[in-house]
């Protein structure tokens, strides 16, 4: 199928590109694991605040100005967050969301959101986040288990589900229900991601007049993948989601897989044409809305002095004498397939020795979930692979791979601007915003080398060079194709990708959801 055909209109109301027109008529309550801000202490012991991490937070932050008096519930992520939560008692902290999120001073004007941080018991959080959400749910939904050996579900995992995952979900549902009741039982509740599959059902039981949407930001695989979990767990997860009015995904494929799961694993009636499920005398709609980026904000950042300084440095370092730069920007997550990406680059240099010394690979990797053993092992594996390739191909003191373990968004944007090829070879990715960010700001007619198993491929695959994530030889060949592509062809493809991203931006993502939800608010 033509990639863009899959983005055709879905059943339901037509989308509105104007988020302001679609602003909700009900008070809005958001729930996500990470919040818009997180607190810490600097070297002088003063409290400091920074933006919460992750693509989901970035996407939602830019939209706060359209959301009226929204409250955003999240987990207290640090000790200092917990201290703030205690000080604030039951009164949420007011946060100004742009240009950099910060706690509002008395009387300060600006786009804002009330942040309600929930303190979670440490042991419960470890079970909820470090055992059940990551790796179990994350690994199932990204197809990361080597099933001959893992997972091995024992009493510890059962406990992590009941005590950790279900426990934290109930704690969040209690807080949501309290806030809904404070609003006379009528509110629009937007639940985000895989951490909270049990929340919607619990809130609906207590607040039957609520309008509820649950957005799943990661892939949703078919029924067989879910058989890794015993029925009493997988059925609870599915039933929990069915407490929503709309269950939403980034792509049509994930939405279809969800329908199949409900049919096969719960035996419920589904309507594949209307994309609906009948449950307890209610209709649950299953929809897809591809998340995107804020092009204006990215262009402004790319034009900042900080980014200009970095693009100069990067150009001096990597682009002299017609040399070329391949880039990747990812969390150190096994789903990102970093190791095979480096193996492919090593293969490229082995098979095209004329490129040695002419092409560099800059990898900006943000360390992630280091308390989960699979993640720390993966970082070691990445380091060993890079050392091996650099040992084989260093020329005149110049190493072909520059691996930087950093989280520095302006620097990543500078690298997007000047690279010749962006590699996204993820094994599975709900969307992948890196591909979209790069396409908005790149200044060298860079080529997007994109895995066919990312959500972004459905929109952008036609003008990308497609990567098949398990096939290292194919990825090496695709990198060669990208590097050898004519200037005209590179220009045409990047312009097409950019037009698609700009035409379907983050505002549209929210506006389409609010349009569909508005019908249910009457």
482, 421 contact by CB (below 8 A): yes
CA gap 359, 3 in Å, rounded: 30
CA gap 134, 341 in Å, rounded: 23
Minimum distance of ligand F6P from residue 54's CB (angstroms): 3
Q: Which is nearer to ligand F6P, 76 or 478 (CB)?
A: 76
Strand arrangement, sheet containing 270-271 = 102-103, 93-96, 112-118, 71-75, 28-31, 188-192, 211-215, 246-249, 282-288, 276-279, 270-271
415, 394 contact by CB (below 8 A): no
DSSP 429: B
Minimum distance of ligand F6P from residue 77's CB (angstroms): 8
Minimum distance of ligand F6P from residue 290's CB (angstroms): 13
Minimum distance of ligand F6P from residue 52's CB (angstroms): 8
Q: Which is nearer to ligand F6P, 54 or 167 (CB)?
A: 54
Q: Which parts of this chain interact with ligand F6P (CB under 6 A)? A: 33-34, 53-56, 134, 193, 217-218, 368-369, 430
Using omega within 30 degrees of 0 as the cis cutoff, is the peptide bond preceding 409 cis? no
| Nearest residue to ligand F6P on Cβ basis | 54
Q: Which is nearer to ligand F6P, 217 or 324 (CB)?
A: 217
3-class DSSP state for residue 116? Answer: strand
CA gap 427, 70 in Å, rounded: 35
Angle between helices 487-503 and 433-441 (to 10 degrees): 120
Minimum distance of ligand F6P from residue 363's CB (angstroms): 17
Q: Which is nearer to ligand F6P, 24 or 55 (CB)?
A: 55
Q: Which is nearer to ligand F6P, 34 or 328 (CB)?
A: 34
3-class DSSP state for residue 398? Answer: strand
Minimum distance of ligand F6P from residue 188's CB (angstroms): 21
3-class DSSP state for residue 364? Answer: strand
Q: Which is nearer to ligand F6P, 194 or 226 (CB)?
A: 194
Q: Which is nearer to ligand F6P, 54 or 346 (CB)?
A: 54
Minimum distance of ligand F6P from residue 125's CB (angstroms): 12
Sign of CA dihedral 467, 472, 474, 479: positive
């Amino acid at each position: 199928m033509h990639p863009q055909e899959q983005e055709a209109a879905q059943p339901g109301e037509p989308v509105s590109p104007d988020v302001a027109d679609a602003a909700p008529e009900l008070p809005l309550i958001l729930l996500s694991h990470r919040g818009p801000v997180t607190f810490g202490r600097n070297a002088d012991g003063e409290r400091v605040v920074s933006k919460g991490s992750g693509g989901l937070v970035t996407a939602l932050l830019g939209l706060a100005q359209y959301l009226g008096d929204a409250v955003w519930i999240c987990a207290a992520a640090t000790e200092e967050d917990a201290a703030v939560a205690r000080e604030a008692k039951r009164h949420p902290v007011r946060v100004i969301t742009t240009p950099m999120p910060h706690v509002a001073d008395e009387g300060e004007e600006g786009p804002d959101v009330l942040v309600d941080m929930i303190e979670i018991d440490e042991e419960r959080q470890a079970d909820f986040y470090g055992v059940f959400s990551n790796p179990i749910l994350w690994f199932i939904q990204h197809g990361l288990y080597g099933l001959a050996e893992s997972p091995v579900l024992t009493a510890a995992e059962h406990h992590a589900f009941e005590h950790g995952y279900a426990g934290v979900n109930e704690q969040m549902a209690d807080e949501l229900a309290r806030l809904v009741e404070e609003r006379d039982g009528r509110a629009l509740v937007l639940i985000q991601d895989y951490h909270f599959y049990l929340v919607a059902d619990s809130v609906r039981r207590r607040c039957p007049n609520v309008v509820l949407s649950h957005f799943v930001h990661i892939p949703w695989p078919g029924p067989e993948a879910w058989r890794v979990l015993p029925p009493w767990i997988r059925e609870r997860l599915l039933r929990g989601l069915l407490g929503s009015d709309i269950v939403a995904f980034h792509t049509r494929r994930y939405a279809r897989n969800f329908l199949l799961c409900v049919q096969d694993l719960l035996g419920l009636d589904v309507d594949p044409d209307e994309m609906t499920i009948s449950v307890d005398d209610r209709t649950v709609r299953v929809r897809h809305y591809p998340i995107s980026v804020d092009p204006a904000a990215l262009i402004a950042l790319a034009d900042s002095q900080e980014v200009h300084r970095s693009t100069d440095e990067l150009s001096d370092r990597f682009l002299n004498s017609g040399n070329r730069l391949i880039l990747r920007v990812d969390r150190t997550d096994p789903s990102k397939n970093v190791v095979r990406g480096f193996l492919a680059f090593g293969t490229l240099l082995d098979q095209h020795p004329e490129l040695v010394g002419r092409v560099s690979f800059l990898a900006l990797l943000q360390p992630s979930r280091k308390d989960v053993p699979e993640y720390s092992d993966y970082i070691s594996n990445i380091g060993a692979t890079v050392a091996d390739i650099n040992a084989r191909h260093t020329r005149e003191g110049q190493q072909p791979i520059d691996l930087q373990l950093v989280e520095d968004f302006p620097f990543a944007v500078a690298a997007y601007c000047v690279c010749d090829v962006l590699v996204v070879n993820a094994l599975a990715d709900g969307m992948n915003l890196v591909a979209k960010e790069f396409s908005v700001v790149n200044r060298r007619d860079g080529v997007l080398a994109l895995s066919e198993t990312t959500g972004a491929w459905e929109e952008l695959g036609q003008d990308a060079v497609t990567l098949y994530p398990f096939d290292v030889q194919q990825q090496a060949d695709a990198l060669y194709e990208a590097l050898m592509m004519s200037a005209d062809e590179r220009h045409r493809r990047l312009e097409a990708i950019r037009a698609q991203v700009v035409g379907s931006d983050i505002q549209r993502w929210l506006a389409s959801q609010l349009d569909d939800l508005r019908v249910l608010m009457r």
